[in-house]
Amino acid sequence: MSLRIRRGTDAQRQQITPDEGELIYTTNTKKLFIGDGIVAGGINIGSALAGTGLVFDIGTQTLQVTSVPGGSGIASVSADLNPALGGNLSLNNKNITGTGTIGIVGTMYASQGLGGDLALNTHNINGTGNISITGNLSVTGLGADLNLNTRNITGTGNITTSGTLSVTGLGADLSLNGHNINGTGNITTNGNITATSVATSILSISSNSINTSTSSTIVTNTNPTTLLIKGFTDGNGIAGGIETGIHLETSRGTLSSPTSTQAGDSLGRVTFDGRTGASTTVTAAAVIASWDATANLSDANPASTLFFFTNGGSNKTNTAVLTSRGNFYAPLLTPGSYAGSGAYPSMVGSTIAGSIIYDSSTNHWMGWNGTIWKQLDN
Write down the pLDDT at residue 363: 94
Q: Could you tell me the pTM of the whole model?
A: 0.49
Beta strands in 217-347 (DSSP E): 252-253, 258-259, 266-275, 281-291, 304-313, 316-323, 328-329, 337-338
Is residue 346 one of the residues assigned to a domain?
A: yes
- Domain residue limits at 344: 337-375
Query: What sign results for the dihedral spanned by CA atoms 38, 44, 45, 48?
Result: negative
Write down the pLDDT at residue 9: 95
Residues 345 and 318 both lie in one domain: no
Confidence of residue 340 (pLDDT cuts 50, 70, 90): very high
Q: Which three-class secondary structure state does DSSP give residue 46?
A: helix
214 pLDDT higher than 70: no
- Of the candidates 238, 252, 254, 239, the one whose C-alpha atom is nearest the C-alpha of residue 291 is 252
Q: CA-to-CA distance for 142 and 126, rounded, in angstroms?
A: 15
Which distant-in-sequence residues (6+ apart) come within 8 Å of 17 by Cβ? 35, 37, 38, 39, 40, 41, 42
72 pLDDT higher than 60: no
Number of domains in the chain: 2
CA dihedral angle for residue 67, residue 69, residue 75, residue 76, rounded to 10 degrees: -50
Residues 342 and 371 both lie in one domain: yes
Write down the pLDDT at residue 204: 63
Q: Identify the weakest region by mean pLDDT among 188-192, 253-257, 265-269.
A: 188-192
Is residue 244 one of the residues assigned to a domain?
A: no
Residues 328 and 346 both lie in one domain: no
Confidence of residue 350 (pLDDT cuts 50, 70, 90): confident
Residues 328 and 347 both lie in one domain: no
Instruction: Return the half-sphere exposure (C-beta side, CA atoms, 13 A cut-off) of residue 272.
Output: 8
Q: CA-to-CA distance for 341 and 361, rounded, in angstroms?
A: 9
Mind listing the pLDDT tens digit for each residue in 9-44? Answer: 999 999 999 999 999 999 998 889 999 999 999 988
Angle, vertex CA 79, rays to CA 78 and CA 82, nearest 5: 90
Instruction: Return the half-sphere exposure (C-beta side, CA atoms, 13 A cut-off) of residue 337.
Output: 6
